[in-house]
């Protein structure tokens, strides 16, 4: 066999570990196992269908012949609709020229990195967090990983970031955070913003500024007394340095519809537009037209947001209560109270325990496999999100969770834990 040699990027880029665990789950299901697959940050459309009006508008747009190339920056009616939507719901004012449409959040994140980061530039990001390590690798950046702590709900804070900020070009933040479902407090985000403003004021005229990529794709899904904050609302000066990542994928359970947007400084948006135009990562014309019409229907939008929040928090709360019950029974598990998004952060600390077959669970991978095989519960370890591989914390996604399964999931987990010595 010929030993082919490829680019340095291709030779060194790590594939998605979540996709890898997904393949293992599929094989187990093929073998006849019933697996509760709570790994993927997606929705089971039988449990979380997209808004009916959005679906109708997509069909209508195709029937009207909207099947050609869209404008590379996004159709004007959609950019105007996004502008009105974010002003109405967040109080953020961005004109159509400060908004870029793409086919979901990933191409936007890629173009942000490509527009800002040069080889060797410092990129600061917390761990665990979704895919920042891979995007930093794309740009051959210097990785500055901020190890967050469970006692701070895995959110970074200014004093952790400050020692690394000199010379950095990008600070990648996400709130609500994937994988934890936790949010910034007002105080913590204000302190980070003040630090970024001070740092940028200290830089010379020809020196690169420090930009904040603020991924808020889950911002509509906050629960109870928890509030979503953003840098620009808290500190208007941050408008010059903040680029948002947003879209309909999570807010409207529309992951497959592929409509996302960024808002930010017009000069940066223009650079990102040029990159996206070459990559061809625009959202389909019909979906753009449909999303524009849907977003302008305030009642339909608000009704759906209320509905999906109720469905999500029911699942998160009941799974959280189940883990807390197991903890109260003396098992080595824990969880963080749900704050936002579709994720529950859970802890499963089984290293050193012995299975009924006499095998010692020696590492966290073995813990993950034990829970999958014995409890039929599939979770994503925080090690897949850049954290230490031996972290005993996990992301539990409720996107494919059926309400009627929750009791059985907890009972199965209890049985699997009881079997250990």
Q: What is the DSSP string of 192-239?
A: HHHHHHHHHHTS-TTSPPPEEEEE-TTTT-B-TT-----HHHH-GGGG
**Alpha-carbon gap, residue 196 to 203, rounded angstroms:** 11
Half-sphere exposure for 287 (CA within 13 Å, toward CB)? 20
Tens-digit pLDDT profile for residues 216-271: 999 999 999 999 999 999 999 999 999 999 999 999 999 999 999 999 999 999 99
Whole-number Cα distances in Å, 23 to 16, 27, 33:
11, 6, 14
pLDDT surpasses 90 at 21: no
369 vs 41: CA distance, rounded Å: 20
Domain end: 297, 321, 353, which one? 297
Q: Considering the chain, what percentage of its residues have pLDDT values greater than 70?
A: 100
The CATH number of the domain where 79 resides is what? Answer: 3.40.640.10
> How many domains, the chain?
2
**What are 112-170's pLDDT values in tens digits?**
999 999 999 999 999 999 999 999 999 999 999 999 999 999 999 999 999 999 999 99
Q: Which residue has the higher pLDDT, 16 or 116?
A: 116
Same domain, 211 and 309: no
pLDDT score, position 299: 98
Residue 327: inside a domain? yes
Q: Is residue 31 part of a domain?
A: yes
Q: Which domain holds residue 376?
A: 8-48+303-418
Instruction: Identify whether 110 is part of a domain.
Output: yes
pLDDT at 379 over 80: yes
Distance CA 143, CA 389 (A): 17
Distance CA 316, CA 339 (A): 9
Identify whether residues 26 and 130 lie together within a single domain: no
Token digits for 7?
A: 């680019």
126/267 same-domain check:
yes
Q: Residue 27 is encoded by which pair of tokens?
A: 């094989």
39 shares a domain with 71 = no
Is 2 part of any domain? no
Helices (H), 329-395: 364-374
- Would you say residue 1 lies in a domain? no
Shared domain check, 137 and 89: yes
- The C-alpha atoms of residue 306 and residue 220 are separated, in whole angstroms, by 10
Q: What angle do CA 343, 344, 346 make, to 5 degrees?
A: 140
Look up the CATH number of the domain holding residue 37.
3.90.1150.10
pLDDT at 20 over 80: no
Last residue of a domain, one of 297, 323, 344: 297
Residue 172: inside a domain, yes or no? yes
**Are 163 and 274 contained in the same domain?**
yes
pLDDT for the residue 32: 86
pLDDT in the model for residue 339: 98
Is the omega angle on the peptide bond into residue 34 within 30 degrees of 0, that is, cis?
A: no
The domain boundary, picked from 254, 274, 297, lies at 297
Q: Could you tell me if 196 and 72 lie in one domain?
A: yes
**Domain assignment present for 3:** no
326 lies in the same domain as 371: yes
């Amino acid at each position: 066999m010929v030993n082919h040699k490829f680019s340095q990027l291709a030779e060194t880029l790590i594939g998605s570990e979540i996709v890898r665990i997904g393949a293992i789950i599929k094989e187990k299901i093929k073998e006849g196992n019933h697996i509760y697959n709570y790994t993927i940050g997606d929705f089971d459309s039988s449990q979380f269908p997209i808004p009916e009006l959005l679906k109708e508008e997509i069909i209508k747009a195709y029937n009207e012949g909207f099947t050609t190339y869209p404008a590379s920056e996004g159709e004007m009616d959609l950019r105007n609709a996004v502008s009105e939507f974010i002003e109405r719901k967040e109080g953020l004012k961005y004109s159509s020229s400060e908004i870029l449409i793409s086919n979901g959040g990933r191409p936007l994140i890629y173009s942000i990195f490509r527009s800002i980061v040069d080889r060797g530039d410092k990129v600061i990001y917390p761990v665990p967090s979704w895919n920042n390590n891979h995007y930093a690798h794309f740009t051959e950046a210097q990785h500055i990983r901020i190890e967050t702590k469970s006692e701070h709900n895995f959110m970074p804070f200014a004093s952790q970031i400050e020692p690394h900020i000199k010379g950095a070009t990008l600070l990648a933040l996400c709130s609500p955070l994937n994988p934890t479902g936790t949010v910034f407090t007002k105080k913590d985000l204000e302190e980070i913003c003040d630090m970024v403003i001070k740092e940028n004021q200290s830089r010379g005229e020809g020196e690169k500024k420090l930009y904040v990529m603020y991924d808020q794709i889950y911002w509509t899904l906050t629960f109870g007394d928890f509030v979503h904050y953003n840098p620009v609302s808290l500190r208007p000066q941050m408008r010059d340095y903040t680029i948002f990542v947003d879209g309909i994928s999570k807010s409207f359970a529309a992951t497959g519809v592929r409509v996302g947007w960024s808002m930010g400084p017009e000069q940066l948006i223009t650079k990102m537009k040029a990159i996206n135009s070459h990559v061809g990562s625009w959202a389909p014309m019909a979906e753009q037209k449909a999303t524009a019409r849907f977003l302008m229907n305030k009642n339909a939008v608000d009704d759906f947001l209320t509905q999906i929040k109720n469905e999500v928090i029911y699942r998160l709360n009941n799974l959280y209560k189940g883990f807390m019950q197991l903890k109260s029974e003396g098992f080595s598990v824990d969880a963080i109270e749900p704050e936002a998004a579709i994720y529950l952060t859970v802890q499963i600390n089984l290293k050193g325990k012995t299975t009924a077959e006499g095998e010692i669970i020696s590492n966290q991978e073995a813990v993950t496999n034990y829970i999958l095989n014995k409890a039929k519960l599939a979770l994503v370890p925080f090690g897949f999100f850049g954290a230490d591989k031996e972290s005993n914390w996990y992301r539990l996604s409720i996107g494919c969770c059926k309400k009627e399964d929750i009791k059985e999931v907890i009972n199965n987990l209890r049985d699997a834990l009881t079997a250990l010595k």
